[in-house]
Structure 1
Amino acid sequence: MLKKGSKLNSILTGTCPKCQNESMYCDQNMLHLDKILKMNENCSHCGLRYQIEPSFFYGAMYVSYGLNVAIGIAAFIISFLIFGASLKVAFIVIIAAIVLSFAIVLRLSRNIYINMFVSYDPKTNLN
């Protein structure tokens, strides 16, 4: 179980990075593609504004790029080096892996990016 207060907990659950009490997203289901990036404006528990500045989450594109490169490298290693597939098949596996993981990567990149700038504050959980 992930410990509340850790960055990993906030990143993997998509909860507010400051208080980790509620989801940052209006719809927690990543399969609802029309609402995948729809976020609440503020955390109703601690008041953190998620869009810290205009166009804040454009920086998450760089995180997304890094995650997609890692997925592509992992898919290549698994298909080509471990299973011995041809280069053509390995390329198809890379494309399939990136397409199938795009919803996870979109949310995960935003979660990682906001957690780079906002840290957990245990004082927000005192009542």
Structure 2
Amino acid sequence: MLKKGSKLNSILTGTCPKCQNESMYLDKNPLHLGSVLKMNENCSHCGLRYQIEPSFFYGSMYVSYGLNVAIGIAAFIISYVIFKAGIKTAFIAIIASLVILFPWVLRWSRNIYINMFVSYDPKTK
């Protein structure tokens, strides 16, 4: 499932989308909120520049919006439909899940966005 060369591997692990040999982020732990979005300039292995153009990652806001909507819908379905909670409890579950998953959504949205434009190159050794 997470074998090297798949986009899913690069998205979930935060590795370089071109060579998948190193992390794009200075701090691999997304729970360190002060450095959750601090990235390396280039991949030290293949030389890929992560900031492809100025303000490149502004587009990841749209990906983040989609991820947050999907998480909110999933939280609602799980709490309201499966656990038969009330509307207020379902709303609290949505807010809690969005707050808890916030650091991961930030990184996943950037990872998904850069993987839309950069593909894995097996020739990069």
**What TM-score does the superposition give when structure 2 sets the normalisation length?**
0.98
The whole-number CA distance in structure 2 between the counterparts of 1:64 and 1:73 is 14
Aligned length: 125
Percent identity between matched residues is 82
Residue number in structure 2 paired with 1:26:
26
The whole-number CA distance in structure 2 between the counterparts of 1:81 and 1:38 is 38
The whole-number CA distance in structure 1 between the counterparts of 2:78 and 2:9 is 28
Question: Which consecutive segments of 4 or more residues in structure 1 shift more than 4 A?
Answer: none
The whole-number CA distance in structure 2 between the counterparts of 1:121 and 1:82 is 43
Residue number in structure 1 paired with 2:105:
105
Residue number in structure 2 paired with 1:41:
41
Residue number in structure 2 paired with 1:55:
55
The Cα of 1:2 is off from its aligned counterpart by 1.4
The whole-number CA distance in structure 2 between the counterparts of 1:3 and 1:81 is 35
**What TM-score does the superposition give when structure 1 sets the normalisation length?**
0.96
The Cα of 1:31 is off from its aligned counterpart by 1.1
Superposed CA offset, 1:9-59 (max 9, x none): 101110000000100000001111000000000000100000000000000
Unpaired runs of 5+ in structure 2?
Answer: none
Cα RMSD over matched residues?
0.7
The whole-number CA distance in structure 2 between the counterparts of 1:80 and 1:6 is 35
